Amino acid sequence: MNMELMEPTKIAKAKKLIYTVSIVIPIAVAALFSIRIDGWVDLSFLPPIYATLNGSTAVLLVFALIAIKQNNMRLHRLLMTTCLGISLLFLLCYVAYHITSNTTGYKGSFGMIYYPLLITHIVFSVIVIPLVLLSYLWAWTGDFKRHKKWTRFSFPIWLFVAVSGVVVYLMIAPYYEVAG
């Protein structure tokens, strides 16, 4: 949907919503780590699924970049919208897993790699929320100059978050509790 003629008041409202979501999501996710729903359902199967969602996002982001470099805006738009949908699904899976499961500690011998990567991944996953949503807003409203300006920051950070999410999963996967 092209909203080139979107009223400035509607853009302002969309920006306020983006800023609100960008604050609420990280706070809610952090708060959910203190909430545990025991005995509800076993969701121990989710970590490899949400790691796959992260990997899929990374691959689709690269394809979206290729599409736009080839001036295929329709494919680019489809891939980017898919990436947003996958990221939302990731968030739902991540939250569902963490409110029903105990935190898994890293017990490997590469803690000097794992923990800095995890911390960077977490920090960038918070930073990327408004960057991606604002980039998407500018494309949606037809402000491609702003869109391009914002994606110079949002794209590499989003790609890093998606790839590092997979690496973090692969490093901690052997230490997940086996339900049974």
Q: What is the CATH number of domain 44-175?
A: 1.20.120.80
Q: Could you read off the pLDDT of 120-131 as tens digits, one per residue?
A: 999 999 999 999
**Number of other CB atoms surrounding residue 86 within 10 Å:** 20
**pLDDT score, position 5:** 57
Burial class (CB in 10 A: 0-12, 13-18, 19+), 169: middle
**pLDDT score, position 144:** 92
**pLDDT score, position 3:** 45
Highest mean pLDDT: which of 5-9, 29-33, 46-50?
Answer: 46-50
- Tokens 């302002």 locate to 12
Average pLDDT over residues 22-29: 93
**Number of other CB atoms surrounding residue 58 within 10 Å:** 20
Residues contacting 160, CB < 8 A, separation 6+:
120, 121, 124
% helix, strand, coil for the chain, step of 5: 75, 0, 25
